Amino acid sequence: MTPSEELHQLIQSMNMSEKRYFKIYSSRHVIGKKNNYIRLFSAVEKQTGYDEVQIKKTFEGETFIKHLPSEKNYLYQNVLESLNFFHKEKTFLTRYCNIIISIEVLYNKGLFDQCKKLLNKAKKEAYSLEKFSILTILLRLETLIYIKDEDEKMLFRNFDEELRIQDKLRTQAAFMQLAFRIQIRIDKGEALPEFIKDAEKRIEELYPKEKSKTSFWINYYYQSCRGLIYSVTNDLAQRSASYREIKKIMDEAPQFIKDLPMIYHTNYNNLVNGMFVMKKYEVAEGLIRKQRLFLQIYGIKNQTAQKINFLNTAENELYLHYKTGGVEEGVAILKRIESEVKKMKPSFSPILYDLLFFMAVTDFVAGNYSAAIKWLNRILNAQHAIYFRKELQLNTRLLYLVVLHESNDWLFENRLNATKRVLAQEKGFKLQSMILEALRILFEDHPTKKNKEALKKQINEIKKQQKLSNEELLNKTFDFLEWIEEKRREGKEKWV
């Protein structure tokens, strides 16, 4: 992405309040050139995509346009500065950057009593939110005061306090690393029994025996790791219990929900998926409603959180109606969300493609084959622009075959051969290979007795593999086996 495109993207990401603040900020801080920067800002703001030719035409004959690259760079920095000031009291980190600067200023001016007062207040809040990395900085600043006072007792108490915090940070980091390692192995289809056994052992080794050595995040990642393990081992009850425990941990500490809403949102998603697997669709529907509203309940206005919450809740709603046969309800949701989805940048988040998949599924079951192909093409075209789960990529190709076959598309044979080549290189995805083989047999125009037996055998093999892979426990998908069996029943004379 070029600097010009980055400037356009930054300006387009701003809401009305931020834009209004920029113009006020710019008029105060850009002496002499304020009108030019505000005018350039307004010109870029109006463009749907950055068009430098149009910018030069708009300001043709003006002196500042001769130095457009440097003007754009200055405007970019000025926009960032105005956003920093606009949000300086709205997040923990921006607020604490200012507090730390204030503490240093007071110390350097020799106003030590005021410095201590601000330090104590900052430490109290940082402890309540378990911002241990910030606490380490605050303790180091406090150490300077104790060195100045030659207060040996408080100095060494500070050192001990810092060591305790560092122990918690190390444990938290180890749990985070383990949780992501398990998730990545699952996504790659490499969560083998030996790996899971070692991970279970590591989870219990890491968890502190003394309550005083635990923390919110240690408890969170401990339960997250357990939830992932239970997904792989097919222990539905324990999986749900882990994610309910996480919800309880967070509900009892609402400040963490406000500070990091996406953690809370992700856990809601895990709970919803658990209800789907256990076919508790009414419970899932209730959770989805709460998931959709929690940002509003907690007064969270984070734009990224709002987009991700939109993507996940929309996917959950579509999946719910797919599994419960609510075709009309699913199509109504498609109409409601389509315009918003089209605005999403391809690189925004991998979860965009999970939603696109179920938009394709919804259109497919409604008989809107061309619309389904449109969504599937958007997924396949994005594979080189952003990384998302290999399983989703392969399932997209399989669903594409199903849609093409149902719509009697002449491209079907080419797609079938292309999918065979792709799956031949993905040895770890046995289930998808089995589904492809079942589809290949099913799509035979004049099946032989041998083919009939082969399809029956392949269906049984898919059932066995599904139990081993627990695919639906981890990620929602189209039920290819259900569709294959339904087609087999419909063509009973042909296949039995």
The pLDDT of residue 204: 93
Residue 472: pLDDT over 70 = no
On whether both 131 and 70 belong to a single domain, the answer is no
As for how many domains the chain has, the answer is: 2
Q: Is residue 386 part of a domain?
A: no
Residues 6+ apart with CB under 8 A from 161: 139
Mean pLDDT over the full length of the chain: 88
> Average pLDDT of 319-342?
95
Query: Which two tokens mark 425?
Result: 């290189």
The pLDDT of residue 356: 97
Q: Is residue 42 part of a domain?
A: yes
pTM of whole model > 0.95?
Answer: no
On whether both 12 and 62 belong to a single domain, the answer is yes
Q: Is residue 33 part of a domain?
A: yes
Q: Is residue 156 part of a domain?
A: no
The pLDDT of residue 427: 81
On whether both 67 and 122 belong to a single domain, the answer is no
> Average pLDDT of 463-482?
77
> Average pLDDT of 152-168?
92
Residue 493: pLDDT over 80 = no
Parent domain of 141: 92-150
On whether both 123 and 146 belong to a single domain, the answer is yes
Query: Which two tokens mark 73?
Result: 């760079």
Burial class for 480, CB neighbours closer than 10 Å (0-12, 13-18, 19+): buried
Q: Is residue 188 part of a domain?
A: no
Q: Per-residue confidence at 496, pLDDT binned at 50, 70, 90?
A: low
On whether both 7 and 72 belong to a single domain, the answer is yes
More confident residue, 130 or 314: 314
Residue range 349-381, pLDDT digits in tens: 889 999 999 999 999 999 999 999 999 999 999
Q: Is residue 143 part of a domain?
A: yes
The pLDDT of residue 445: 75
325 in helix, strand or coil?
coil
Residue 474: pLDDT over 70 = no
The pLDDT of residue 184: 87
Residue 32: pLDDT over 80 = no
Residues 6+ apart with CB under 8 A from 72: 3, 4, 7, 40
The pLDDT of residue 31: 55
Percent with pLDDT over 90 in the chain: 42
The pLDDT of residue 28: 73
Residue 473: pLDDT over 60 = no
Query: Which two tokens mark 218?
Result: 């240690």
The pLDDT of residue 380: 92
The pLDDT of residue 190: 82
The enclosing H or E element of 132 equals helix 132-149
Q: Per-residue confidence at 174, pLDDT binned at 50, 70, 90?
A: very high
Residue 409: pLDDT over 80 = no
Q: Is residue 283 part of a domain?
A: no
Residue range 427-464, pLDDT digits in tens: 888 899 999 999 998 888 777 788 888 888 989 998 88
On whether both 59 and 103 belong to a single domain, the answer is no
Where is the domain boundary, 127, 150, 173?
A: 150
Residue 316: pLDDT over 90 = yes
Q: Is residue 442 part of a domain?
A: no
Residue type for position 472? E
DSSP code string of 416-482: HHHHHHHHHT-TT-HHHHHHHHHHHHHT-SS--HHHHHHHHHHHHHHHHHHHHH-HHHHS----HHH
Residue 327: pLDDT over 80 = yes
| Rounded Cα gap, residues 277 and 366, in angstroms | 23
The pLDDT of residue 1: 66
Q: Per-residue confidence at 274, pLDDT binned at 50, 70, 90?
A: confident
Lowest mean pLDDT among 181-190, 289-298, 477-486: 181-190
Where is the domain boundary, 150, 177, 199?
A: 150
Residue range 120-139, pLDDT digits in tens: 999 998 888 888 989 999 99
More confident residue, 49 or 330: 330
Residue 262: pLDDT over 70 = yes
Contact 221, 181 (CB under 8 A): no
The pLDDT of residue 171: 94
Q: What is the DSSP letter of 12?
A: H
Where is the domain boundary, 57, 86, 115?
A: 86
Residue 284: pLDDT over 80 = yes
Lowest mean pLDDT among 186-190, 193-197, 355-359: 186-190
Residue 30: pLDDT over 70 = no
